[in-house]
Amino acid sequence: MSESINLVANKKNESSRDKKSLKYFRFIAIVFLLSVFLFAISLFIFKTSLGEAALKKQEETLSGNMSSLSDKTVKLLLTQERLRNISDVLKNRSDVNKILDSVMKDMPPSVSINSLSIGKKKVTLIVASYSLYDINVLLDNLQKMSEDKKTFKRLIFDTLSIDDKSGKYSLGVSIDLL
Amino acid sequence: MSQKIIIDQNLLKILYIRYKPYLIYGGIIIVCLVIFLKVLIPQVYDFFAARDEVEQLRTRVNTLNQNINLLSSLSDSDLESDLNITALALPPEKDFAGILNAIKQASAKSGAVVGDYSFSIGEISGKTKDVKKHPSIEVNLSLKNNIRTTQNFLNEIYKILPLSEVSAIDVSGNSANITLLFYYKQLPKIQYNKNMNMKALSNQDTALLEDLSSWKISDSQDSSLTE
């Protein structure tokens, strides 16, 4: 039998290695166990601290209070809806008075309107006067307004005639509105 | 030399006794891993989902609180009166009496003499199929006045409820033909949901309501919309 074989010494080494690895193993197991435990506890605490149940209860109570105010809710929302539409109508409705004012604002007193027609996009105007000068003044004013492009887009000179019997001049113009 | 290994109960028992601590700790580690992966990780996802839900819930609760505070601060009679004024300005249905009243008032205030008039009513019975944004009733009106009085009439009718618009005007000598459009609009179905953040009437709204109130011609126009 060989003397180099030392079973006792080997067994000791093996035992200490086993103990060491068992120690590590135990340590890892404890770390895992603690980590999972702490993680679960923290998660539970975080979830509880969200206060979901209390908020849900509060929401239910408030919804109940809100339903008792449903009449006021409907009135307020309807008023706002009506006001939006009214505002739209007012914004988009054509201001005929403004157009009339613009036409008549600087009209010389001797000039009278024979016929005036205002549509959505066009104004047709026939004026008469004994004075050709005054008709010219009106025409200049209208031209100036059309150049300003505030109300009128384009001014078209249609007709200029004279009534032989009365000696009255008659001017027809068309105005394209903005 | 090959040696046959016989696994019998005794060997398993010996192995079990020999490796018992390893098995216990290994088992603990495996159970921990399983719990972590199968239970805790999904719980983390649940937590984030719950957090988002709570955030939404909190927003809803805040909105509800704000809405309740707002509505509690408003007087029911003021709301009723505001709604009635807006309903006079833009009636929920064809308001022929209101139109005739407006024409009468405008002619009285401007001194205009109203001649013939005609309505283009459209469909009277059944549900209106008018899908226009702002449906209207067309009224053709003849005035027996000069242009100044006609202008006064238009000034007046623009400041009387229900709201109207002059779509065409023909003035010739001492008579004028006017085409007026009187607007109306059906009431929508109001649907309230918890996430709706209600707002009080803005300054613009209040100013508009004041204008409309001043355009209301008489108490006879008071009609409750909620009746």
The pLDDT, as a whole number, for residue B186 is 87
Least confident range of A85-89, A160-164, B120-124, B133-137: B120-124
Q: Is A79 on the interface with B (CB under 8 A)?
A: yes
- Whether the pLDDT of residue A84 is over 90: the answer is yes
Ordered structural domains, chain A, with CATH: 96-177 (3.30.1360.100)
Residue B179 lies in a domain: yes
The pLDDT, as a whole number, for residue A9 is 53
Interface size between A and B, measured as CB pairs under 8 A: 197
**Which DSSP state fits B221?**
G
Could you list the residue range(s) of the whole structural domain that residue B29 is in?
Answer: 8-73
- Candidates B194, B173, B179, B187; CA nearest to B142 is B179
Contact B53 A89 (CB under 8 A): no
Q: Which ipTM score applies to this complex?
A: 0.78
Give the model confidence (pLDDT) of B163-185 as tens digits: 888 888 888 878 888 888 899 88
Q: End of a domain among B38, B73, B108?
A: B73
Q: End of a domain among B54, B73, B92?
A: B73
- Candidates B146, B182, B184, B147; CA nearest to B167 is B182
Nearest residue, CB atoms, B76 vs list A50, A59, A72: A72
Give the model confidence (pLDDT) of B74-99 as tens digits: 999 999 999 999 999 999 988 888 88
Rounded CA separation B153/A149 (Å): 27
Q: Is B168 on the interface with A (CB under 8 A)?
A: yes
**Together in a domain, B119 and B208:** yes
Q: State the pLDDT confidence band at B227, using cuts at 50, 70 and 90.
A: very low
User: First-to-last CA distance in chain A?
Assistant: 123
Q: State the pLDDT confidence band at B18, using cuts at 50, 70 and 90.
A: confident
Contact A26 B134 (CB under 8 A): no
Radius of gyration for chain A, computed over Cα atoms and rounded to the nearest angstrom:
49
What CATH number does the domain containing B174 carry?
3.30.70.60
The pLDDT, as a whole number, for residue A166 is 86
Q: Within 13 Å and on the Cβ side, how many CA atoms surround B36? A: 15
The pLDDT, as a whole number, for residue B192 is 77
Domain count, chain B: 2
Q: Is A66 on the interface with B (CB under 8 A)?
A: yes
**For the ranges B29-38, B127-136, B144-153, the one whose mean pLDDT is highest:** B29-38
Rounded CA separation A169/A61 (Å): 81
Q: Is B17 on the interface with A (CB under 8 A)?
A: no
Most distant CA pair in chain B: distance in Å?
Answer: 136
Rounded CA separation B156/B107 (Å): 8
Mutation to test the A interface, candidates B30, B86, B193, B197, most A Cβ within 10 Å? B86
Q: End of a domain among B73, B89, B106?
A: B73
Q: Please compute the mean of the pLDDT values over residues A69-83 and round it to a whole number.
A: 91
Complete DSSP assignment for B36-91 = IIIIIHHHHHHHHHHHHHHHHHHHHHHHHHHHHHHHHHS-HHHHHHHHHHHHHHS-
